[in-house]
A = this chain, B = another copy of it.
Amino acid sequence: MRADGEIERTAVRSGPCARWPAEQGETIRQIVDRAGDKWTVLVIGTLQHGPLRYTDLQHAVTGISQRMLTHTLRQLQRDGLVTRTAYPEVPPRVEYALTDLGTTLLDAVTALVDWAGTHHDEIQDHRARYDSETTAR
């Protein structure tokens, strides 16, 4: 391989992985990151059953803070994954719903969750063995 005493320090910021996502690299990474985000997954997972209003979402997604719910919804809205509909009523009412695009993302994410569920035991087993090998002895 490299026997020529020359070290390529280039390391240009051509993107973390030149041979994989390649093309639109940066944006792809952002999207994948978002798809793997805890709150994103839980929010769109909750919305799959139909539109919900802000407070209902907050109650359904146990443990989420107002700050994170708002932030997550803004991101999803910006990417066109959910819609925000405000009704000009006396007690304010705002409903969030998955878009078609959001639904397709949900499918992909669900596949990942299913994978996790399928191999849950196997992974737990590996972890237990790894931990016992490194901790004990």
Q: Are A21 and B117 in contact (CB under 8 A)?
A: yes
- Residues of A within 8 A of B (CB-CB), count: 63
Digitize A1-36: 1 where CB-to-B-CB distance is under 8 Å, 0 elsewhere.
000000010111111111111011001110111111
List the number of copies, as a whole number: 2
With A17-B60, A28-B113, A61-B15 known as contacts, the answer to whether A77 contacts B130 (CB < 8 A) is: yes
Q: Are B36 and A37 in contact (CB under 8 A)?
A: yes
Q: Are B123 and A62 in contact (CB under 8 A)?
A: no
Q: Are B116 and A10 in contact (CB under 8 A)?
A: no
**Residue A108 interfacial (CB < 8 Å):** yes
A residues apposed to B, CB below 8 Å: 8, 10-21, 23-24, 27-29, 31-38, 41-42, 45-46, 49, 52, 59-64, 77-80, 101, 104-105, 108-109, 111-113, 115-117, 119-120, 122-127, 130-131
Q: Are A32 and B105 in contact (CB under 8 A)?
A: no
Residues of the B chain whose Cβ atoms lie less than 8 Å from the Cβ of A59: 15
